[in-house]
Amino acid sequence: MAPHELRRPFKRPAISDQQRRRDLALIRQTQQRSDSQNRARRLASSLFDLPSHSLPDACQADFPDIVDVGYAIALEQSPELEASSPTVRHLDFVQASKLKGSAARHWFARQLMLTEWMIDVPPYLDRDWYVFARPAGKRCFVVSSNGSTVSRLRNGSVLHHFPSFLPNGARTKEISAPSHVYCILDCIFHEPDQTYYVIDMVCWRGYSLYDCSAEFRFFWLNSKLSETGACNPPSTYHRYRFSVVQIYDCNAIGLHKAYTGDFAFVKDGLLFYNRHAHYQTGNTPLALVWKDELCSQYVLDTDSKGHVPDEQQVVLELQDDGKLTTSDDPPIVFGCLEREIIQKSSLQAGNFLRFSVIDECVRIVDGKLELGDLKFVGKANRARVFADSYSKVFFQYTARRSPLQFQDLIASLDPNLDENSESNDMEMID
């Protein structure tokens, strides 16, 4: 008898230009890393060439890590860290911690790396990507510095101000450290168990991981977080528990574990991270979110009453010339609002406006979504600081008509890799 042949569903063809943007993102980050390396080397070289007594005190305080011997040793042992010398961009967090009010909210709202929505399955999904279940909750940055810990939501507002066992996260003898020691974690706060689930590490003890690959950042996160006691239950100097999610290689075994596995948190879709992706602020096609009804309660957008409207709705930003754009960089123009409506509704540039999508006017041309006519509904929630992204609008459109299904993800995997490989998931230990 002939051996049983595993038949996969037909691979879904690409309908968008998302892969082209992924390729461009990888090229761009390679160039940025090279530029960052050159800047860091020039800065370090200029400091080492100066006599120690000629360095102003302010300069020594601002760039303490550059001349740190321990950091130099770490560079030799971990080439991934070579591009993460504390440049001006990375020192911004220390300065930004002193900002107050709207200035702080505005700055922190633009620091998170925001996932695109998966429109098409990336090629080499099982070779170049990780997958993990996304905890349901509030996405936030957690920053520990100067003996305290602060979490800020996606819109930049403060969620919690608390002591923690993170580096320099509480005013105790065991945890406190010099002012240049700080930690930045990308988290999701899960209300039911009052836990911060860490999905990425941006900075650790003042050492930047921005220009490190996701593969290295996840390894560092797995290695370092549990050593601090931050995963311990709450206590006097550690108000909230931190936990880390299990990250899987995106082969058939890992994909099924992330999709069907039982977790301590409520699941809200799956997250996919490209192994080679650096941590970059704003929207990136190198980190993707995917949802269906079995792994998320909220696949389609709902209105203020929690109901799914009959027509798809989008939130766009009004520009000075009346154009309506997404949150992407560069922004995508989806229409233009007539001056009469702007004046009648007392609208201003920068307002976030809600529109209904008229189905008959939607087209996909050369892999790009065109919405055509939009029906103005009103202003969006005042708490918003971003319009919808292009990929979200595209995903919501296809989810109502021809959704990307889990079988499509499985069909894209290499059958030879699935049969011969085991899931090499990162077991994040509490």
pLDDT of residue 93: 62
pTM assigned to the model: 0.81
pLDDT of residue 74: 39
d(CA 403, CA 26): 27
d(CA 324, CA 333): 6
pLDDT of residue 109: 87
pLDDT in tens, 330-381: 999 999 998 998 999 999 999 999 999 998 889 999 889 999 889 999 999 8
- 15-50: burial string, b at 16+ Cβ within 10 Å, e else: ebbbbebbeebbeebeeebeebeeebeebbeeeeee
Q: Which amino acid is at 146?
A: N
Q: For 185, which DSSP code?
A: E
d(CA 107, CA 155): 9
Tokens of 399: 């989810």
Q: Are strands 113-117 and 282-290 parallel, antiparallel or unpaired?
A: parallel
| Residue 29 vs residues 33, 74, 83, 189: alpha-carbon distances, Å | 6, 23, 12, 29
Q: What are the E-state strand segments in 86-128? A: 113-117
Q: Which residues in the chain show pLDDT less than 50? A: 1-8, 39-41, 43-91, 418-423, 427-430
